[in-house]
Amino acid sequence: MRLHNKVALVTGASSGIGKGIAMRFANEGAHVIINYRPGSAREEESANAMAASFTPKAIAVAADVSKRAEIEQMIDAALAEFGRLDIAVCNAGVCPEQPFLETTDEHWNQVLGVNLYGAFVVSQLAARQMVKQGEGGKIIFTSSVHEDIPYPRYTAYCASKGGLRLMMRNIAIELSPHKINVNNIAPGAIATPMNQAVLDNPEELQNALSEIPWGRFGMPEEVAAVALFLASDDASYVTGSTYFVDGGLTHQVTAY
Ligand code: NAD
């Protein structure tokens, strides 16, 4: 049990990568706060089912991570239940397509609001609690290979993930005196609901696979394995780093 009795918050945990991380953390002995986006019966059902099946005790908490007040309430709920917070995984994200010339303020604000502002507020409130506890902590952001490489028609998404890249490095330095490790995981193409349209379209799938040296999509469990490492004592001297989990995609794409 590598996370025995730790308390871990995972945002966007009712599906995909966040779900994989929450399940892995629970299997390793952590109490998990399973955050899900309000307003979706499917996600609420999934989060509640996860909480009911996890041991040790887990809770499902609805909160829109683009809203500070909802994040505050979520952290309060976590502290009321478990009394502390050791690990925060800022994973919630959206990835809608919109060509640059047509990008609206609404689109920009939605993507940056969830992916970057949400990660900022969740990590800030989590870090304040960790500093108060005085025993260090772990903060992990789910970034993307697009914190580094361009993705035409997804300018807002790239801006949000590029922002995470340097925000994480800055926070890592500022929180070093408090022994809080701060790192990014940068997934490549992972088989989650976010990629369902590509997975369901044979032509698009073939195009996507041709860019991945490993020749397949990654699985949420493969991202969760890296998250577990970064959340564990094994990563005690790792901070300010991005871990790519991409089957070599980054190097293939940048090769032409
Ligand atoms: P997903 O759609 O299954 O998960 C995203 C989660 O974020 C969902 O549970 C969704 O409800 C939640 N979410 C969205 N808006 C929210 C909000 N306002 N408040 C709270 N929760 C909200 O897709 P995924 O692939 O598991 O994505 C998880 C993270 O991984 C995202 O940050 C995404 O950008 C990143 N990522 C995914 C891939 C991939 O190939 N799947 C690649 C790189 C990065």
pLDDT tens-digit map of 144-194: 999 999 999 999 999 999 999 999 999 999 999 999 999 999 999 999 999
**Dihedral of CA 230/231/235/236: which sign?**
positive
pTM: 0.98
Query: Has residue 104 got a pLDDT over 70?
Result: yes
Residues whose CB falls within 8 Å of the CB of residue 148, separated by 6 or more in sequence, listed in order: 162, 165, 186, 242, 250
How confident is the model at residue 181, as a pLDDT? Answer: 99
Tell me the CA–centroid distance for residue 12 and ligand 1, in Å. 6
Domains along the sequence of the chain with CATH: 7-254 (3.40.50.720)
64 lines ligand 1 (CB under 6 A): yes
Six-digit token pair at 81?
């239940």
Does residue 139 contact residue 129 with C-beta atoms inside 8 Å? no
Three-state DSSP state, 28 = coil
DSSP state letters, 212-246: -TTSS-B-HHHHHHHHHHHHSGGGTT--S-EEEES
Residue 107 pLDDT class (50, 70, 90 cuts): very high
Residue of 194, 214, 223, 243 to test ligand 1 pocket, by largest number of atoms within 8 Å of CB: 194
pLDDT tens-digit map of 125-144: 999 999 999 999 999 999 99
Burial class for 205, CB neighbours closer than 10 Å (0-12, 13-18, 19+) = middle
Tell me the CA–centroid distance for residue 177 and ligand 1, in Å. 31
User: If we measure between CA atoms, which residue out of 13, 19, 33, 20 comes closest to residue 224?
Assistant: 20
> Pick the catalytic residue: 36, 117, 154, 157?
157
How confident is the model at residue 113, as a pLDDT? Answer: 99
Active site residue 151: no
Residue 61 pLDDT class (50, 70, 90 cuts): very high
